[in-house]
């Protein structure tokens, strides 16, 4: 495979940051709208949505080189973001 056929860095980062941004949006919406007793359930659904979104985003790049690495980075980033949001929401729920 020649260098010109590799995925451009801008497209690679766009495909990652889109999923991470979705995870942040999901976390904020869950924190604002959801009942504190349902935070964990909604965060699990948000992670599932991020995994499906990551699959779609990485398949949309139409590049097989680095697919697994990009998919893993997307999912792990979303997992970390939602995990941190879960910790914050747990503290918020404990205070209420």
The string of DSSP codes covering 66-91 is: THHHHHHHHHHHHHHHHHHHHHHHHH
**Residue at 64 is within a domain:** yes
pLDDT single digits (tens) 16-44: 999 999 999 999 999 999 999 999 999 99
What is the C-alpha separation between 31 and 85, in angstroms, rounded?
Answer: 8
Length of the chain: 96
- 3 has pLDDT over 80: no
- Is 33 a member of any domain? yes
62 within a domain of the structure (yes/no): yes
The answer to whether residue 57 sits within a structural domain is yes
- For residue 50, being part of any structural domain is answered with yes
Structural domain span for residue 63: 26-95
Position 39 scores a pLDDT of 95
36 lies in a domain?
yes
> Is 19 inside any structural domain?
no
On whether the pTM is more than 0.85, the answer is yes
* Structural domains counted in the chain: 1
Query: Does the residue 35 lie in any domain?
Result: yes
């Amino acid at each position: 495979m020649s260098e010109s056929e590799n995925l451009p860095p801008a497209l690679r980062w766009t495909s990652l940051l889109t999923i991470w941004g979705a995870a942040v949006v999901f976390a904020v919406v869950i924190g604002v709208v959801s009942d504190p007793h349902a935070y964990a359930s909604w965060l699990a659904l948000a992670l599932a949505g991020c995994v499906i979104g990551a699959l779609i985003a990485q398949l949309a790049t139409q590049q097989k080189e680095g697919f697994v690495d990009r998919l893993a980075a997307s999912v792990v980033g979303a997992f970390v973001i939602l995990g941190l949001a879960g910790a914050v929401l747990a503290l918020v729920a404990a205070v209420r």
